[in-house]
Amino acid sequence: MPLHPEPEQQADSLRALMAMIVAIVIGEGSLICMPFIVGGIVERYQLAEGAAGIVTSLQFATMGLASIAILNRVHKIDRRRWILIGAGFILLGHAMAMLSSSWTLFLIGRVITGLGEGTALSIGNATAAGTRRPQKAFSILAMTMVVTAAAVYLLMPPLAERIGPVAVFYVLFLLGLIALPFLFAMPRHVPATENATPTEKLKVWPLPKLLLGIGCLFAGENAMWAYAERIGVSIGMDMSTIVSAFLATVILSGIGPVLANATEKQWGYRYPILIAALVAGSANFVLATAGFQPAFFTGIIIANVAYLFLMPYYRSLTAFVDPLGRLAVGSVVMQTAGTALAPSLSGAILLLGGGYTGVGLMAFALIAGSCVLIWTVARKADAARQGPI
């Protein structure tokens, strides 16, 4: 099924969009729920916070491995078949976390889940990169994360009371089951964009800086997000208040992708990215140093609005360089690498006595650095724009 259908094929295009949406839902599930996963590991297995973050990194590292495995094949493989295989891995991994009290089986389940989530994220993002307006497609996918996160945070409190720290895995398993039927609409093969060939469109010059910049963005944001629940606990917030903060965050963070879609058409890439990166870094530092509830709410909300503003920009730059979707898969590799590294770096800083302030400074440096790294590509994308897209 073509991703750029004629008008009479519009229904098929909507079905493809739904498949992309649910691919992102199941692929981003553990990222959205990271604070609950870290908190659940701490409570269930009585680990130190730093150690729990390192365990979480293992899962995200396997996400990156799955993305690497299909990086150079994503424009050739049967995407529907592979996304269904990935969904099966995700369901199996979450089921193992739900039903087994064995630490060994829990770790194996996290690895299996990571492989499935990496596959789902890669295929969903690669398919979005081949649409006519990648910025719009990635903004819609970012909004999907907002809606999913809101649903998760509404379900978590009653489930946590009844089930305990494994409740997060029941929620993720349920999301996987709901998503499964929609994945059958994923296009099997996506043809190259008009007048594009693999060698013509995949230019080598921007790859290292662009991909490293994407990795730094995700590392900086998730360095604090992984410990947001623990920060709330440290300043005396109870779980219902923390969940309320998360719910307010995900609802208001929907402003980010909406603004990204509007500002890109008006002002291009560079200056919106610069402003949002500085805002995101500063807000993460406010969150890290929060000593009372208003600062916690302010920091976490603004950081996530800016983060979800930046994400469609960074993703659409991969489509500017490579419309066939391979670089979009590369961005998933860097997303998972940055996300995997973030809890470990934060955990190391905490174990060394740097506290959350040290984590906040690191988060600011990583997000600001990501802007510097992608600046050249953003400048070239701005130069290539000719009128409305």
At 234-256, the pLDDT tens digits run: 899 987 888 888 888 888 888 99
Contacts within 8 Å (CB) and 24+ apart, 12-18: 15/185, 16/127, 16/185, 16/186, 16/187, 17/137, 17/140, 18/182, 18/185
Segment 138-191, tens digit of pLDDT:
888 888 888 888 888 787 778 877 887 788 888 899 989 999 999 998 888 765
Cα-based angle 250, 169, 177 (whole degrees, multiple of 5): 85
Q: What is the pLDDT of residue 220?
A: 93
Instruction: Indicate the average pLDDT of the chain.
Output: 82
The end-to-end CA distance of the chain, in Å, is: 23
- pLDDT tens figures, 112-144: 999 999 999 889 888 888 777 887 888 888 888
pLDDT at 386: 52
Q: Is the pLDDT of residue 303 over 50?
A: yes
Q: Is the per-residue pLDDT at 305 higher than 90? A: yes
* pLDDT per position as a tens digit, 22-44: 998 899 888 778 777 877 777 77
Of the two residues 183 and 50, the one the predictor is more confident about is 183
> Which is more confidently placed, 290 or 386?
290
pTM of the prediction?
0.74
pLDDT at residue 203 greater than cutoff 70:
no
Domain residue extents for the chain: 7-384
**Total residue count of the chain as it appears in this document:** 389
Residues 371, 359: Cα–Cα separation, whole Å: 19
**194 band by pLDDT with thresholds 50, 70 and 90:** very low
pLDDT beyond 60 at 286: yes
7-384: CATH architecture: Up-down Bundle (1.20)
Residue from 362, 369, 318, 358 nearest 341 by CA: 362
pLDDT digits (tens, 9 = 90+) for 329-339: 888 888 878 87
Q: Is the pLDDT of residue 354 over 70?
A: yes
